[in-house]
Amino acid sequence: MREGAAHEALDRLAYLRGPEDEPGMPSDVQWDKTTLSVALRRCVARWGDRELLVFPGRSLTGSAFAEEVSRLARGLMALGVGPGDNVAVWLANLPEYAVAEFALAALGAAMVPINIRYKKDEVEFALRQSDSSTLIFAPAVLKTDCVAVLREMCPELGQQSDYILRSTTLPQLKNVIVLGSNVAGARSYDDVLRLGDSRTRAELDRREQEVRPESVLVLQYTSGTTAFPKAAMLTQAQTLRNAYQMSCRAGFTDQDRLLSAMPMFHVGGSVCALLGAITIGYRLYMSPNVDAAETLRLIEEERITAYVGLEPMYLAMRNHEDFNRRSRKSLKKGWSAGTPAILRMVAQDIGIRNICSLYGLSEASPNVCIAHWEKDPYEKRISTMGRPQAGTEVKVVDPASGQVAAREVRGEICVRGWTVMKGYYKNLAETSRVIDAEGWLHTGDAGLITEDGYLVWTGRLKDTIRVGGENVSAVEVEHLLCTHPKIVTAVVVGVPDKRYQEVGLAYVQLKLGEQATEDEMIEYCKQRLAVFKVPKHVRFVESFPTTGTGKVQKFMLRQQAIRDLEQSSK
């Protein structure tokens, strides 16, 4: 086939390749060959005297941050933490979290983030499965008494004559470090900092030089659905490059004041937000939780120029009583993963006209595609997930045949390139299942590639409702419902039905002050959808159950829907 004809044939397929070199990304900054320690030194050299990280009650300049990182790294080194060790961090969005991430990276150890919403069995599973030798935690997160949970798992804590834990349940766990509280058998965080003074900077420098860019930075546990979660191994180099390129696409610079409520126990906070600050130099404001009133106050008083978050965070802001009392004139940029209706609300109501939509997952460290804040038209930034990051490939395949689909045809999204994880920790079978012999990561997400080369995410492959033999995309119905002028957002789940086996049930959140009926919503859908796609039931709610990263937990909604329908049929 002639070269021109080959390109033309490829253009008709659902395949995209990110640019090798992208304008606006300096070619001399090769983050794919860099460690976090080198990145931090570059950051200090350029922005050391400037405020870099701002947390409630405490801010750090680049130099102050680097100094605390050095002290903690040396303290951990004195405790025996070294290359190949896995260290669990069970904290909310606190300065110590950021310090721990860089201190562990300096030693060649991997961070194991513990979701602050985890219950005792989930925490125990993560600590055991990851072989964590050290735990850094706070006495309490959210409403969880972490000390009580830890003592339930390890009753030996406090019984030892030294600070070495000898646990029957968690035999790998040796060091326990607690923030701001005296816990018998555990060292305090401040004590570990002081212990760092017993080791010289030269010793730490030698250790840092041994760390390679391909060293694992984080074991990121994915959201479990049918089983316990799996730990994606992400390296220092790929996370640095990912955060940098993502920030460049979003238009962030060292003049921006960026506010993030993304949790640091997830790559949205620990990679996208934090490593973006280190590589780009913006001033990063980190919120410990999603507090809409505090978010609006910070935007106004700190003149925040960029905000990053997920759908529930933007919705909470828009629906708060302070929304029209606070100024948001400084806001210009941001990114989010959301429906076109939500992104349009972010742009038009909240005022972030340069909002960039994106697509990513933990196994891809995490961003795969993101729109360009300046080059992509407004409608493309709202209605698609943009194009692949530089140096990566994306294709959409037919789930049955595995063949690349045609453009505009829905299938499974697959990703290949430097952004793909090393694999799942101690889970070769699952790694082999999702990464094929050619290096393609099979995401389990459904999507399509438009005729003009943009990715559109359409939900999970399994997020399909089987109505009387017809497959219905829940996301398609959700998008349609979100065009209703009274609706803020909607979630559609499948529920059992005697006649059709399964039908759709829509959970709908109305705009403030609006009222609607079930029949009204169903009629709206009937006028715009094939009859088998129309939800049979509609329920109105004020909020949705979400994970710690802000994703709606559809399985919980489905369970609730089934219970409600069973009760109403009695």
Q: What domains can be seen in the chain, in order of their start residue?
A: 36-50+61-231 (3.40.50.980), 465-569 (3.30.300.30)
Q: Is 446 exposed, middle or buried (0-12, 13-18, 19+ CB in 10 A)?
A: buried
Cα 202 versus chain centre, distance: 36
**Token pair of 249, please?**
């696409």
How are the residues of the chain apportioned to helix, strand and coil, as percentages rounded to the nearest 5? 35, 25, 40
Report the range of poorest mean pLDDT among 201-205, 257-261, 341-345: 341-345
Strands 257-260 and 283-286, how do they pair? parallel
* pLDDT score recorded for residue 224: 47
Is the pLDDT at 23 greater than 80? The verdict is: no
One-character DSSP codes across 221-259: EPPPSSSS--EEEEEHHHHHHHHHHHHHHTT--TT-EEE
* pLDDT score recorded for residue 161: 84
* pLDDT score recorded for residue 225: 39
Is the pLDDT at 331 greater than 80? The verdict is: yes
- For 211, residues 6+ apart whose C-beta sits below 8 A from its C-beta are 35, 37, 83, 105, 106, 107, 108, 236
* pLDDT score recorded for residue 24: 61
Q: Which of 501, 497, 457 is nearest to 475 (CA)?
A: 457
Q: Given pLDDT bands bounded at 50, 70 and 90, which one contains residue 243? A: very high
- 316-328 average pLDDT score: 94
More confident residue, 261 or 98: 98
Is the pLDDT at 226 greater than 50? The verdict is: no
Cβ neighbours, 10 Å, residue 455: 26
| Chain position carrying tokens 């000898």 | 166
Predicted TM-score of the model (pTM) = 0.86
| Share of residues in the chain with pLDDT > 90 (%) | 74
Q: CA–CA separation, 550 vs 543, rounded Å? A: 12
Sign of torsion over alpha carbons 22, 26, 30, 34? negative
More confident residue, 404 or 550: 404
Q: Name the DSSP letter for residue 343.
A: H
Report the range of poorest mean pLDDT among 191-205, 257-271, 420-434, 488-502: 488-502
Q: Given pLDDT bands bounded at 50, 70 and 90, which one contains residue 26? A: low
Is the pLDDT at 7 greater than 60? The verdict is: no
* pLDDT score recorded for residue 118: 85
Q: Given pLDDT bands bounded at 50, 70 and 90, which one contains residue 6? A: very low
**Per-residue pLDDT tens digits for 425-468:** 999 999 999 999 999 999 999 999 999 999 999 887 877 787 87
Cα 424 versus chain centre, distance: 17
More confident residue, 224 or 249: 249
Q: Given pLDDT bands bounded at 50, 70 and 90, which one contains residue 51? A: very high
Q: Which of 567, 551, 549 is nearest to 559 (CA)?
A: 567
Average pLDDT, the chain: 91
Whole-angstrom distance between the N-terminal and C-terminal Cα of the chain? 66
Output the CA–CA distances (angstroms, integers) from residue 155 to 65, 146, 150, 167, in the order listed.
Answer: 35, 13, 8, 8
* pLDDT score recorded for residue 548: 63
**Per-residue pLDDT tens digits for 358-401:** 999 999 999 999 999 999 999 999 999 999 999 999 999 999 89
Task: Among 4-18, 125-139, 310-324, 500-514, name the most confident range.
Answer: 125-139
- 505-534 average pLDDT score: 92
Is the pLDDT at 59 greater than 60? The verdict is: yes
- 313-329 average pLDDT score: 93
